[in-house]
Amino acid sequence: MKILIAATLLCVSLFANSLDKIRKSGVIRIGVYNNQPPFSSLMDGKFVGFEAQLAGKIAKDIFGDNPGKTKFIHIATDRRMSVLEKNEVDMVVATFVIDSARKNHVDFSTPYFSTNLGVLTRKADAIKDISRLRDIRLVTEEDTTVDNYLKKEKFTNVSYCKNTSECYAMIRDGKADGYINLNITVLAYAVVDDTLEVPFQNFGKPDFIGIGVQKGNKELLDFINAELVKLSKEGF
């Protein structure tokens, strides 16, 4: 069994685009979200936000003085691992929480962001007691670390939405009472909509977000890790 697993991982890594291959092709493919403010959103045909900017800086340094193209590809939450395994992208920068189960399928960079969960609610509902979270109508995205946490803690009052904008709309329109996601994500909606608030900003356990690459793509991963150190020193 161990030999079979090792052989499988070796075959997977052979299909990955190495750092040298990316440079020679002049194109790097980066998986990002198109609707996850403030991390990454598609606005007027351009990807903007913290993660889009971070990915763009790394891509620029990969090519250095040589011309290169950064190809941003929108991915769904539940496809972040599969797009790497199928070599549809070279790296994923999409609030990719590092956990032991995912490490079996992809390799992660050192963390570039730490976050807890937050809960977005309507101010008019005045939800201040955290125990009420088990009684109100909660919403989140399916097959995420947030979803897994809620299942582990046996929350039975959870429904699902396709993306952050849909979750926000459900809270705004009264179709749900609490939207649980990374705290920085839900806080962004409370900033742009003053009818909403985040009464619980550090719910659940801390999580760490990293950049994902295909399993075994060590050269690219080492470059990304070095870049994260460099950008941190530069104050990014």
* Structural Rg of the chain based on CA atoms: 19
Tell me the pLDDT tens digit for each residue of 181-211: 999 999 999 999 999 999 999 988 889 999 9
What pLDDT does residue 16 have? Answer: 87
Q: Whole-angstrom Cα distance, residue 155 to residue 21?
A: 46
> Is residue 236 very low, low, confident or very high in pLDDT (cuts 50, 70, 90)?
confident
Residue type at position 34: N
Is pLDDT above 70 for 121?
yes
Tell me the pLDDT tens digit for each residue of 60-111: 999 999 889 999 999 999 999 999 999 999 999 999 999 999 999 999 999 9
Question: Do 39 and 211 form a contact (C-beta atoms < 8 A)?
Answer: no
Q: What is the mean pLDDT of residues 105-125?
A: 96
Q: Whole-angstrom Cα distance, residue 86 to residue 94?
A: 17
Q: What is the mean pLDDT of residues 26-50?
A: 94
List the Cα angle 207/208/214 in 5-degree steps: 125
Q: What is the mean pLDDT of residues 153-179?
A: 96
- Please classify residue 110 by burial: count the beta carbons closer than 10 Å to its beta carbon, then call 0-12 exposed, 13-18 middle and 19+ buried: middle
What pLDDT does residue 12 have? Answer: 46
> Is residue 13 very low, low, confident or very high in pLDDT (cuts 50, 70, 90)?
very low
Total number of residues shown for the chain: 236
Q: What is the mean pLDDT of residues 107-125?
A: 96
Mean confidence (pLDDT) of the chain? 92
Contacts of 192-196 with C-beta under 8 Å, sequence gap 24+, read 193/168, 194/123, 195/122, 195/123, 195/124, 196/120, 196/121, 196/122, 196/123, 196/171, 196/172
What pLDDT does residue 41 have? Answer: 93
- Terminal CA-CA length for the chain: 44
% of the chain with per-residue pLDDT over 90: 84
Is pLDDT above 80 for 19?
yes
Q: Of the candidates 189, 228, 196, 223, which has an alpha carbon nearest to the alpha carbon of residue 90? A: 223
> Is residue 6 very low, low, confident or very high in pLDDT (cuts 50, 70, 90)?
very low
Phi, psi angles (nearest 5°) of residue 36: -135, 65
